[in-house]
Structure 1
Amino acid sequence: MPLRRFRALQAIAAVIIACAAPAKAFETEARAAWVYDVSTHTVLLDKNATEPLPPASMSKLMTINMVFEALQSGRLQMSDTFPVSEKAWKMGGSKMFVKPDDRPTIEELLHGIIINSGNDACVVVAEGMAGSEEAFARLMTERARELGMTHSSFANASGWPDPGQRMSLEDLGILAVRLIEEYPEYYPMFAMTGFVYKDRVPSNSENRNPLLRIKGGDWKADGLKTGHTEEAGYGLVGSAVKDDGRRVVFVITGLANDAARARESEAIVNWAFRQFAAKTVVTGGTRVTEANVFMGESSKVGLVPAKDLKLLVPTMGQTSLEAEVVYTGPVPAPIEAGAELAELIIRVPGLPDHRVPLVAETSVPKAGFLRRLSTTAGVLWSKHVAGEAASPAS
């Protein structure tokens, strides 16, 4: 059976009207960037996003993920404690300021990692969960592969500079979305602005995420993690949500300084929310078109999306969407209602193609004997006529 492709814009004109012209591309100073609309699963910006780069402290998100997974499975409790080794105590860079005689709880360690960006807290967690930081890093790499993060490898738990510590921005974005969606009970920790462990060094207590300090407007930031080393530059894995619930996740790296990171982060969020709007363009169960049926009680079956189709469209100007339905047909009977039969491809100017499965609107039983006989005869006759037409004149 041939693969059938046909334009479907006229068939769905009643529900897909007009959308905006292509959005203005965001010109970023960052070495690499990735911007993602969570509600519509749309990548808005991809600049070197699959290149493995030094992630600095942004790789702490993978350490946090390992802890969240252990909490969710019951292998850890927030009240559990870990000892502090001499290695953890002597760690440089950003610190939670634990000491060898401390027994910090998992909750305190998470606060120390998320808010203080504590390298020492990461070592405590790694050694407590896997026996050594090296063993924990291997587990991090294995788990990243399982989660589809194919451009990530870990040599440590903190993001300390190491040739073996690499993550792509796309992988960091995948990880950020996972932390938001899979762990709603723990995610609010990322919005906390300060934490001091045992009243030590309060000057190090402030969360470095610049977006958390922005007040007012129709969106607010609630995560996730900054990063900075001389090699990596300044970076941020950020997330912001609008009053209507629409969420954007973004990752940037390679900025020159803290001020540039803050400026670029706010600009990206404003661009993502102002240049694009989410619209329901087809409601679930609405017939988009029909597919031909072979040997069925009906010669056609309606094709519908199983659920509402919400797309992100640019907000400025007016132009038409393009839509195409692809299926292999005619589709042989019997057909069960809800069976996936086709794919609707919608092209929005300036954005990646959006692909949506289409399912059978109703069931189509196999035709009775006489109808099947009639269909077979019709097919044979059509082939005979076609053959006669193709034969050379005598």
Structure 2
Amino acid sequence: MAEKELIVYRLFFTPRLIRMLIGIACFFVLTYFIPVLFELGLILLGTLILLVLIDIVMLFRLKDGIKANRRMADVFSNGDENKIHLDVQSDYPFSVKADLIDEVPVQFQARNFLIPVTLEANEKKQLVYSLRPVSRGEYHFGNITVLVRSPLSLAERKYNLPAEKMVMVWPAFHSLRQYELVAHNATTSDIGNRKIRKVGHSMEFEEIKDYVPGDDLRTINWKATARKGGALMVNNYTDERSQQVYCLIDKSRVMKQPFEGMTLLDYAINASLVLSRVALVKYDKAGLICFAETMGQFVPADRKGMQMSLLAETLYRQQTNFLEADYEKLVTLVKSRITHRSLLILFTNFESMSSLQRQLPYIRSLARQHQLLVVFFENTELQQQAEQPVENLEQLYIKVITEKFILEKKRMVKELQKYGIQSILTPPRQLTTQTINKYLEWKARQII
């Protein structure tokens, strides 16, 4: 009895069968006016019932006619496309059509997630799709549901295949290797790599090597050249190492604003993780300070083997608060815990000149003791609104107000420059690239 109930639960009738039944019903209506067609209608109805029974037998003759499983990484990268592989196999001796419904985590709100596939007799296929998470945390995948139809396509069998799994979504680590490749002698741009012209050279001597075309003639070592018998030898210098690089992340309400599904805090966290990796590749020490109305986590700058794991774990736990950040406490923490001159990269956001003016004394205090870079965000939605054509008076008012906000952001950059404070005003999607460009540029020019 339980098996019969289970079969009924797994059996569905297709729209094709419904359309045929409607057609036969209309035919029987026609027989009311033409009685001689009544027997033909019974034959059509009987034939359809027989075909449905045959279809059901074809679908249910095998206990496990369809097998499917999901393959994916145990950890997803936030803000990146993460691939999921579905392996589906048919054991039916005939061709079937199937609809795969993968129960993706609720965070994606994919309510109609369906993948159609046709499988030949005893065929195995691999399907690939990708998901882009926009928040950190735990993501729970459910089962895989497969709806199978035979060539008759009158009935449909449902397979509910266990595939529950939980994955963690961590700050964007897919970008780490990409930016490692450009961390040595170049900076990254939207179209490729471009070299930074160095002003002089650092005082960290590395080796004496043979001259090759392109080496700076000012680095020729004449004594070594004389000992070599006339072959030119040059001094090779490397960037200064073991400098401290701290990412200061504002977790207050200004960082909760979303762009393209991700909050500004998540953009800052992703950029901080990649920048820390680049700094470690450049033999600098990477550290972290997270703050809001109270001081959050402080990770001292270091380049020990577990530093990246410590930074990633700390960044994973960060959440925005709904109060205003206390910059006075930040200055006190920096003065007491960071005793050597360091590069401080402050990720925050200001929407008005007055909000910047409130924090400016504390920002200037940080800049007096350390090399400070303030990173805040363009409102890309306002930029799009400002580019819209004006067709009526209301749209004109909106355009004027929008341009006022955009201009105010640019004034903030000028205000910081007035006090010798470097800043980056960037769209959220370009945050990582812009920040790493600035770090590598300063590194090459020996500003830090």
TM > 0.5 fold call: no
Higher strand share: 2
Structure 1 length-normalised TM: 0.25
What is the TM-score normalised by the length of structure 2?
A: 0.23
